[in-house]
Chains A and B, each alone.
Chain A
Amino acid sequence: MKNKYSIFSLIKNAFSYHENWQRAWRDPEPKKEYDAIIIGGGGHGLATAFYLAKKHNMTNIAVVEKGWIGGGNTGRNTTIIRSNYLWDASAGLYDHALKIWEGLSQELNYNVMFSQRGVMNLAHNLQDVRDLKRRTHANRLNGIDAVWLNTEEVKKFCPIINTSPNIRYPVLGGTLQKRAGTARHDAVAWGYARGADAMGVDIIQNCEVKGIKRKENGVEGIETTKGFIKTKKIGVVAAGHSSVIANMVDLKLPLESKPLQALVSEPVKPIIDTVVMSNAVHAYVSQSDKGELVIGAGTDAYVSYTQRGSHDVVEGTLKAILELYPIFSRMKMLRQWGGIVDICPDASPIISKTHIEGLYFNCGWGTGGFKATPGSGDLFAHTIANDEPHKLNADFNINRFVSGDLVDEHGAAAVAH
């Protein structure tokens, strides 16, 4: 039984110099067999396990992770959460996640530091203005909060933006989603891990999947660095490495894995209290609670699994940042890193069954998976438990690439992918 985190547990542990906190999750050896196995211990995978146990009563399950939990893209993203997507299917999917975010700290009894500080998307040319206004209307029709701001209102909302008409990409306006914001990325993984573990889910770290054993039309189990584990249902949530797992069963996915970069500056006093994104110049910036500017750059154009990324991509982003925020010109960047994102041709995810019985994929989140973590886990758990999709992820099946019924969010989703 897990002890509940509260002000009282904090005070109680203070008396023992915080040396006796219960560990947040166990470190079990894998059992011989599970009812289901989730491959990938990032936010999405752990959330899937959490909701499988909580909502579908499947507690004899395991999450296998080749490194440590939350050490992949969960710990590498820029923590932006929003749901202002253009198409109905995406709006439903991402707003479902946003609604769970709003009560997540209470649900998990773990502070995920969800902060609804608003996300503003800037328009720099006439086409941007038209696109963003159209999206604002589409959002409102779907019950998602969105407002259009003119240049003066943008300046008022975020005073450090350079709104001079004489810059290369002048700010012609922007959209604002006030319910959007950020969360602490590590806490999301840790909170879900702790919650899942408390319900009996085995979280097995340092356990790399080497193969999937097939049986007739289904699956029999997985070969791992910790031996063979038997199971009838496998949920793959491996982000950039989804194709690596898919290639084990000769399944081709419509994915390309590319490095996406981010960087943080030295910590400074509060200067930007919202998240500002710019599609045309591909730069987005927010400030962490520690005071670092968190800056997201773009992806490299080529397939790579190196978790590094090219210098020219960062250079392009910083040029745009400096023109939009001249005040940052003497800031020093402290750290830069890359994460491997799996991008679908239509920039929408796949949460789907496959033609192999008992094998499910949750992938293709590309550059924007973090925001969907709770919703993705919830819907993927539903798909695995019932062997059929929830109505919110029915459109995100793998078959859409055959039928042509794509959910084309390239550019439509307020940022370039």
Chain B
Amino acid sequence: MFLINCPYCGERDQSEFSAGGEAHIIRPKQPTELSDDQWAEYLFMRKNIKGVQFERWNHAHGCRKWFNMVRDTSNDKIHAVYKMGEKPPIK
């Protein structure tokens, strides 16, 4: 339960948003050349970090735009919000 500062709409309740999981997982450029192991890695395997995690969110009940967020999963504190395609403001 927390507030999210949507880069397009400003601060809104988290219940307006839907979570899209870990960010910066790049879709394979040549899917036909992938081995089963590589597909499993892309589709299923997640870092599932306890601590600072980079993730995708969608303002589903608002502007419906996707954006990225840096959040500490151990206390739900949000460190940064940035638009899709932008570089993460923190490492």
On A, residues with C-beta under 8 Å from B are 241, 243-244, 247, 252-257, 301-306, 308-312, 342, 345, 401-404
**Are B44 and A254 in contact (CB-based, < 8 A)?**
yes
**Are A305 and B73 in contact (CB-based, < 8 A)?**
yes
- Residues of B near A303 (CB, < 8 A) are 19, 21-22, 48-49, 53, 55, 73
12 A-B contact pairs sorted by A residue (CB < 8 Å): A241-B50, A243-B46, A253-B48, A255-B48, A256-B46, A256-B48, A257-B48, A257-B50, A305-B50, A309-B1, A342-B48, A401-B44
Interface string of B19-46 (1 = CB under 8 A from A): 1011000000000000011011101111
**Are B47 and A247 in contact (CB-based, < 8 A)?**
yes
**Are A304 and B45 in contact (CB-based, < 8 A)?**
no
Known contacts A247-B47, A253-B45, A257-B50; A310/B1 CB under 8 A: yes
**Are B44 and A306 in contact (CB-based, < 8 A)?**
no
**Are B55 and A302 in contact (CB-based, < 8 A)?**
yes
**What's the least CB distance linking B32 to chain A, in Å?**
16
Nearest neighbor of A303 in chain B, beta-carbon distance: B73
Extra pairs beyond A252-B41, A256-B48, A312-B15 (4, CB < 8 Å): A253-B48, A301-B18, A303-B53, A401-B43
**What's the least CB distance linking A314 to chain B, in Å?**
10
**What's the least CB distance linking B28 to chain A, in Å?**
15
A311 to B15, CA, bound (A): 9
**What's the least CB distance linking A417 to chain B, in Å?**
15
A342 to B73, CA, bound (A): 14
Residue in A241, A310, A402 whose beta carbon sits within 8 Å of that of B14 in the complex: A310
A153 to B15, CA, bound (A): 38
- Residues of B near A253 (CB, < 8 A) are 45-46, 48
**Are A305 and B40 in contact (CB-based, < 8 A)?**
no
Interface string of B65-91 (1 = CB under 8 A from A): 000000001111000000000000000
User: A255, A305, A311, A342 — which one has the most chain B CB atoms within 10 A of its CB?
Assistant: A305
Known contacts A252-B41, A401-B40, A402-B37; A308/B1 CB under 8 A: yes
Known contacts A303-B55, A306-B75, A402-B36; A243/B18 CB under 8 A: no
A311 to B36, CA, bound (A): 40
Residue in B1, B39, B44, B49 whose beta carbon sits within 8 Å of that of A345 in the complex: B44
Known contacts A243-B50, A302-B55, A310-B14; A254/B45 CB under 8 A: yes
- Residues of B near A342 (CB, < 8 A) are 48
Nearest neighbor of A255 in chain B, beta-carbon distance: B48
- Residues of A near B37 (CB, < 8 A) are 402
**Are A243 and B40 in contact (CB-based, < 8 A)?**
no
- Residues of A near B40 (CB, < 8 A) are 254, 401-402
**Are B49 and A247 in contact (CB-based, < 8 A)?**
yes
A306 to B37, CA, bound (A): 32
**Are B46 and A254 in contact (CB-based, < 8 A)?**
yes
**What's the least CB distance linking B36 to chain A, in Å?**
5
**Are B45 and A401 in contact (CB-based, < 8 A)?**
yes
**Are A306 and B19 in contact (CB-based, < 8 A)?**
no
Nearest neighbor of A311 in chain B, beta-carbon distance: B1
- Residues of B near A308 (CB, < 8 A) are 1, 76
**Are A310 and B15 in contact (CB-based, < 8 A)?**
yes
Nearest neighbor of B39 in chain A, beta-carbon distance: A402
Nearest neighbor of B57 in chain A, beta-carbon distance: A302
**Are A403 and B36 in contact (CB-based, < 8 A)?**
yes
**What's the least CB distance linking A237 to chain B, in Å?**
16
Known contacts A312-B15, A402-B37; A305/B45 CB under 8 A: no
- Residues of A near B44 (CB, < 8 A) are 254, 345, 401
- Residues of A near B36 (CB, < 8 A) are 402-404
- Residues of A near B41 (CB, < 8 A) are 252
A402 to B45, CA, bound (A): 10
- Residues of A near B46 (CB, < 8 A) are 243, 252-256
**Are A244 and B15 in contact (CB-based, < 8 A)?**
no
Known contacts A243-B50, A306-B75, A311-B1; A252/B18 CB under 8 A: no
**Are A252 and B14 in contact (CB-based, < 8 A)?**
no
**What's the least CB distance linking B72 to chain A, in Å?**
9
A241 to B15, CA, bound (A): 25
**What's the least CB distance linking A350 to chain B, in Å?**
11
Nearest neighbor of B41 in chain A, beta-carbon distance: A252
- Residues of B near A301 (CB, < 8 A) are 18-19
- Residues of B near A311 (CB, < 8 A) are 1, 15
**Are A304 and B76 in contact (CB-based, < 8 A)?**
yes
A244 to B49, CA, bound (A): 7
- Residues of A near B18 (CB, < 8 A) are 301
